[in-house]
Amino acid sequence: MRRSASPLSLTLLGIGVFLLVLGPMLAYYVEPRAQRTPIDINQTTVFNGTGRYFDQGALETKDDQKLTVTRRVLGNVAESEKNDVAVWDVSTTIDNPDTLPHKDPRKSFQWETERWVSDRETTKPVHCCGEAPVQVKGDAYLKFPFDVQEKTYRWWDGTLGDTVPLRYSGRAKVHGYEGMRFTGEVEATRAGKRQVPGRLVGQEETGQVVAEEWYANHGIELIVDQATGRILRATIGPRVTLRAPGGDKDEVVLLESKRIVFDKKTQLGQVEQAKEQSGQLKLVGETVPMASGGAGVLLAIVGGVLVVRGRREQA
């Protein structure tokens, strides 16, 4: 007589084939689409450090002062969805002991607002949607691309108005979580100009002059999560000075710190989010596809054997 394949064998074979297809689909189709910069971001990062700044009221530089840099990033969901990009509105304040208690950006020592627009997959700048500043370029800013590589990246420095090469410098841990370390520095560079009393820059006989603003950075160190490109800890050492027009030496130090770093709360928050997001990417890109593939092979073999046996003719 002729035996037909049982419903169980066909079911096992079908599930096995489905799982075999599911694994590659998750790894090669779903995961790349999961690696997209979020558009609904609402995040605050805080840097703390000590340094010196120019007190405009006293017309002198104050040393050994606490400095706080606060950056607030809010995603513009409507603009992002409309243009299929990531539109982030960014507010950055620098506060000293006199301005910090006000908790008002308008009264901060320094306040600037920007609109950063990037490709959601590559994180590279996109020129649209009223971005400011418009000349942004480079490989990374605010965050690194997904799947960070051991190479040099061009990091956008807003104060410099240009990119800074950040070299891969090995691995480092932030509160027990391993990231990739990138380092760089900025040599003194003319970054702008501002009108000031001549006596501030050594020209007592002149009422007002257009002084040159120079910027340097003693050292930039970013510890980055490899999977997501999220910055776990950032350390910077800015120096902003004024020089007389055409001068070759610093006359006034506007702001300087050898080390301003993410505070503990910010670091812990960045690590926690990196763990969660990288875990989700690993689940979609590795864990589920491997488990699906293994189970698919097993079920397909079992189902196939049962189908063959079920159709075998027996005397």
Planar angle of CA 180, 186, 189, nearest 5 degrees: 160
Predicted confidence at residue 50, as pLDDT, reads 95
Which pLDDT does position 311 carry in this prediction?
A: 54
Among 27-36, 98-107, 182-191, the least confident range: 27-36
* Tens-place pLDDT, residues 156-165: 998 898 999 9
Q: Where are the alpha helices (H) located in the chain, listed in sequence order? A: 7-25, 31-34, 77-83, 264-282, 288-311
Mean pLDDT calculated for residue range 123-146: 86
Partners of residue 277 on adjacent β-strands = none
The DSSP secondary-structure symbol of 145 reads P
Identify the three-state secondary structure at position 205: coil
pLDDT in tens, 145-185: 999 999 999 999 988 989 999 999 999 999 999 999 999 99
> pTM to 2 decimals?
0.79
Residues 196-241: pLDDT tens digits? 988 888 888 888 899 999 999 999 999 999 999 999 999 999 999 9
C-alpha to C-alpha distance for 160 and 172, rounded to whole angstroms: 27
Residue 195, strand partner residues: 210
Tell me: the pLDDT tens digits for 261-283?
A: 999 999 999 999 999 888 776 65
